[in-house]
Amino acid sequence: MIRALNFALGGLSAAVMVFGSGCANTPHPARLRLDGGFIQYQGWMMKLDAPGWQQELDAMRKAGMRIIILQQLQQGDWRFIPDSPQAPDPTQIILNYADARRMQVFIGLANDSGWWKSRHWNDYLDSAAARNMALADEIWKRYGTHRSFAGWYLPQEMWEGPFTDEQIAQARSFFRRVSDHCKSLSKNAPKPVAISPFHKARVTPDEVEKLYTDFLRGAGVDILMLQDGVGAKGWDDMIEEKVVPYFAAFGRACRASQVEFWANVECFKSVGTTLSGVKELAPADAGRLNRQMTAVAPYVRRLVTFDFFHYMSPFRQDERARKLYDGYLKLKVED
């Protein structure tokens, strides 16, 4: 599950075709490279200036990444849109960079801890939808003219439940409301809406397929980026058992609902727990990342990673991130 680091398809075919030939999922080519990566904003990153961001984005481009997913522009009370016109605006900087280099940016909306209390969704989802739609309005007014603004990302993460039929209907309605609103902002060329669910391998792949086939029909989701869970769950030696069957199941559910299927491979690992019970995370190694990509590539159209900035950038203080980046660049590429 992506957490804070230690603290109607009609008319959409053209938009989705930016990323592939329609919504049908075909095997990823043998050229196993990451198509893009997430960037998870934190407060200190709001002070990073344009040159600082340029070196990060240059590193992504050097690694062949052309898709940037900004996870969220609001997390709880934290807003990642500057109030002052004089303050650096990371999203504006990233979009300007991407405009000039034909890159594509997905912009994430708002999230908070209330999402995880699914028993109380009756009292929560209406207000959460209203917050997200209001933020989408603000984002569109501020950034909507950028040609690199390729899609929306809804940071609420679905999982495999257990959910009641009522909860699935509630979740489907929530995503559809927000998705429809986002698409209404660019009526002439509606932008695709993406989500990134996770699973814990606690139910069978067949149950997951049934759940997501039900959920996705009518949810307004165009791209599903499934978290592989290897970093969060420590499945380094269980990829064939814990990851592959579930990617196959999600892939079938996506095909049934005409949703494009991507993999969100985790480039981090768990290295312990703090005294407060928070997982300590660190960059993984390139060999493990390569095994992750190899395992899921047959099921998806695109490979993205969470999260480039904190775990894979060669400019982090953690030397393990540079090793991961350099090791990734040296991975054998089959042409």
pLDDT tens-place string over residues 191-236:
999 999 999 999 999 999 999 999 999 999 999 999 999 999 999 9
**Where in the sequence is the domain holding 69, given as residue range(s)?**
13-17+26-329
Looking at residue 123, its pLDDT comes to 86
Note whether 178 and 109 are within 8 A (CB): yes
Q: How many residues does the chain have?
A: 335
**What are the residues whose beta carbons fall under 8 Å from the beta carbon of 247, sequence distance 6 or more?**
226, 228, 263, 295, 296, 299, 300
Whether residue 1 is contained in a domain is answered as no
8, part of any domain: no
Q: What is the mean predicted confidence (pLDDT) over 121-129?
A: 94
Single-letter residue type at 101:
R
Query: Is 191 in contact with 146 (CB distance < 8 Å)?
Result: no
* Angular region, 310: left φ>0, alpha ψ -120 to 50, beta rest: alpha
Residue 319 placed within a domain: yes
- Asked whether 284 and 269 are in contact (CB, 8 A), the reply is yes
CA atoms within 13 A of residue 114's CA, in its CB half-sphere: 17
40, part of any domain: yes
Report the relative pairing of strands 268-273 and 279-283 from DSSP bridges. antiparallel
Conformational region of residue 51, where left means phi above 0, alpha means psi within -120 to 50, and beta covers everything else: alpha
The answer to whether residue 273 sits within a structural domain is yes
Calculate mean pLDDT across residues 64-83: 97
* Residue 252 belongs to a domain: yes
Question: Once rounded to an integer, what is the mean pLDDT over residues 82-100?
Answer: 96
Domain count, the chain: 1
Other CB atoms within a 10 A radius of the CB of residue 237 amount to 11
- Summarised one tens digit per residue, pLDDT across range 283-298 is 999 999 999 999 999 9
Q: Is residue 335 part of a domain?
A: no
Q: What single-letter DSSP state applies at residue 158?
A: P
Which CATH number characterizes residue 128's domain? 3.20.20.80
How many angstroms separate the CA atoms of 23 and 44, rounded? 38
Closest CA to 101 of 62, 155, 71, 75: 62
Q: Is the pLDDT of residue 22 over 70?
A: no
- Mean pLDDT of the 239-248 span: 98
134-186, pLDDT tens digit by residue? Answer: 999 999 999 999 999 999 999 999 999 999 999 999 999 999 999 999 999 98
Within a domain: 108: yes
